[in-house]
């Protein structure tokens, strides 16, 4: 099995797995890490590569996990001393600077209904970097069983553009309690108000 961190990073990105790449960009004085050393942290905790091992690597991996949790890159500095600012409790005496870059799976754009709105929206979504999932909906359905197979998460964006109000309402009822970041529905003011009123009546 290839342990190359860049190969593992590419595999994780292809499989849409949350991952972080830590790269040593500067070293001053004595250090087990060398400039250019890299380590990849996968969302399941597995690592590939090394940035020197020991307490330094452990500190870097802790910060890499923070980068994943916060979804933002981090520039970190480590003092290889026992005491002082940014000290990690070792006696090497050097200093190390590391850039940590999280790589996030693309956000999902789920389009319920195709047609003259859904098709161009799919094209625009793909151009914007979304993973686009189109769910075709039969008119007048009281439920959307195809939607149950779509895994909705906090990075899902949902657009309801079915051909009739009954299907829009059925779809909205299915996704309204999901963790999706955004839910939008296209329709006339009257249709939207009617559907929202139905939802309010049902609590």
Q: What is the pLDDT of residue 165?
A: 78
Give the torsion through C-alpha atoms of 155, 192, 170, 156, to 10 deg.
Answer: 0
pLDDT digits (tens, 9 = 90+) for 6-50: 999 999 888 888 899 999 999 999 889 899 999 999 988 999 999
Spell out the domains of the chain, with CATH numbers in brackets: 5-103 (no CATH), 108-201 (3.40.50.720)
Count CA atoms closer than 13 A to 70's CA, side-chain side: 11
pLDDT digits (tens, 9 = 90+) for 148-166: 778 888 889 999 888 777 8
In three-state secondary structure terms, 195 is helix
What span, in angstroms and rounded, lies between the C-alpha atoms of 1 and 38?
18
Question: Given its phi and psi angles, is residue 143 left (phi above 0), alpha (psi -120 to 50 degrees) or beta?
Answer: beta
Are 67 and 102 in contact by the 8 Å Cβ rule? The answer is yes
Mean of per-residue pLDDT scores for the chain: 87
SS3 content of the chain, % helix, strand, coil (to 5): 35, 25, 40
């Amino acid at each position: 099995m290839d342990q190359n961190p860049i190969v593992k990073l590419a595999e994780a990105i292809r499989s849409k797995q949350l991952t972080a790449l830590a790269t040593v960009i500067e070293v001053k004085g004595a250090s087990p890490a060398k400039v250019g050393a890299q380590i990849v942290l996968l969302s399941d905790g597995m690592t590939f590569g090394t940035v020197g091992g020991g307490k330094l690597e452990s500190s870097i991996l802790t910060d890499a996990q923070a980068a994943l949790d916060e979804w933002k890159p981090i520039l970190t500095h480590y003092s290889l001393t026992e005491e002082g600012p940014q000290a990690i409790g070792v006696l090497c005496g050097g200093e190390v600077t590391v850039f940590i870059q999280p790589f996030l799976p693309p956000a999902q754009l789920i389009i319920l209904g195709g047609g003259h709105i859904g098709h161009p929206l799919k094209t625009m979504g793909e151009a914007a970097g979304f993973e686009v999932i189109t769910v075709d909906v039969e008119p007048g359905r009281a439920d959307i069983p195809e939607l149950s197979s779509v895994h909705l998460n906090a990075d899902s964006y949902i657009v309801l553009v079915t051909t009739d109000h009954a299907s829009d309402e059925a779809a909205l009822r299915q996704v309204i309690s999901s963790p999706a970041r955004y839910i939008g529905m296209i329709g006339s003011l009257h249709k939207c108000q009617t559907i929202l009123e139905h939802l309010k009546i049902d609590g």
